[in-house]
Amino acid sequence: MTIDAGPATNGSPAGGSRPGYDAETTARLAADAAQIVARYPESRSALLPMLHLVQSEDGYVSRDGILFCAEQLGLTAAEVSAVATFYTQYKRHPNGTYTVGVCTNTLCAIMGGDAIFDELSDHLGVGHDETTEDGAITLERVECNAACDYAPVMMVNWEFFDNQTPGSATDVVDRLRAGEAVAPTRGAASVCSFKQMSRVLAGFPDGRADEGVGAGEPTLAGLRLAREQGWTAPTESAGGPDAEAGAGAPEKPVTGGEQSSAERKPTTDADVDPGGKAESPGTKPDPSKGADA
């Protein structure tokens, strides 16, 4: 059986001669791969960031990338492909310069996420996980962007665009396609490309982690209110699970206590032989079977 690792990037047809990166690219990626592998006690644990590495090279996880990862980590192409096809951040076909992900999970959907996705889909002429003809935008439905306090939320290469509307989202993608610099609502000062973002996910920082605002007012509202009210988190001494028994500590439940069946004595035939055949009235269970028969 032949395992198809996916489309090649060097022009070789799938199933044809064995593809692979040229010598210069292989050497450059191998140097990066060595840094990634050095972070882990077992080399195969480096597969996830290494898939991001080859994705930063090709713009998706290509057949060349699959084989490169397999060779570097001593795995088969099938093992690498199994991981690459499991996680949605790994693309198995060429991705756009910008991945625009619209959250359509419950809260964002209620707040307008579905309307934003539908508007962008009509405006761009693409559906979920499809790329515009100019290669600029890949549109996605996202299950959750982990920013419910700013719903509805859209992300561009995992940078936040909060409190969006169909109109504002359309404006963002038009500016991206026009080559304009676009700043997210929070985080980095600008949106990088999909390849650049993939390299960061591979573990090579771009020096922009401290740019912009991290947590905004909606995220910090609960903390501010707690400080104003003087609220603090309960401690173990306040009767937590590890608190010592003492004054004010809740009494631990006693096995066999009131309403407990843990040590209730058998009173009927069914108690002694659960699921057994019904006995005629007055018939006692066979003592030789024991209580656990």
For the segment 230-287, what is each residue's pLDDT rounded down to a tens digit? Answer: 999 888 765 555 555 555 555 665 665 565 555 566 676 766 665 555 444 444 555 4
- Structure confidence at residue 18 (pLDDT): 55
Residue appearing with tokens 């982990």 = 146
Residue 70: pLDDT band (50, 70, 90) is very high
For the segment 177-199, what is each residue's pLDDT rounded down to a tens digit? Answer: 999 999 999 888 899 999 999 99
Give percent above pLDDT 90 in the chain: 62
- Structure confidence at residue 16 (pLDDT): 46
Task: Answer yes or no: pTM beyond 0.75.
Answer: no
Residue 46's CB: how many other CB atoms inside 10 A?
23
Q: Which of 221, 222, 90, 215 is nearest to 147 (CA)?
A: 215
Q: What is the mean pLDDT of residues 142-149?
A: 90
- Structure confidence at residue 132 (pLDDT): 97
Q: What is the mean pLDDT of residues 33-56?
A: 97
Task: For the chain, give the mean pLDDT.
Answer: 84
- Structure confidence at residue 198 (pLDDT): 97
Helix, strand, or coil (residue 123): helix
Give the whole-angstrom CA distance, residue 171 versus residue 189.
18
- Structure confidence at residue 280 (pLDDT): 46
Give percent above pLDDT 70 in the chain: 74
Comparing 17-26, 161-170, 203-212, the range with the smallest average pLDDT is 17-26
Q: For residues 121 and 113, is the Cβ–Cβ distance under 8 A?
A: no
Helix, strand, or coil (residue 141): strand
Beta strands in the chain (DSSP E): 98-103, 130-131, 137-142, 154-156, 159-161
Higher pLDDT, 214 or 24: 24
Higher pLDDT, 220 or 290: 220
Give the whole-angstrom CA distance, residue 163 versus residue 243.
44
Q: What is the longest distance spanned by two Cα atoms in the chain?
A: 90
- Structure confidence at residue 2 (pLDDT): 38
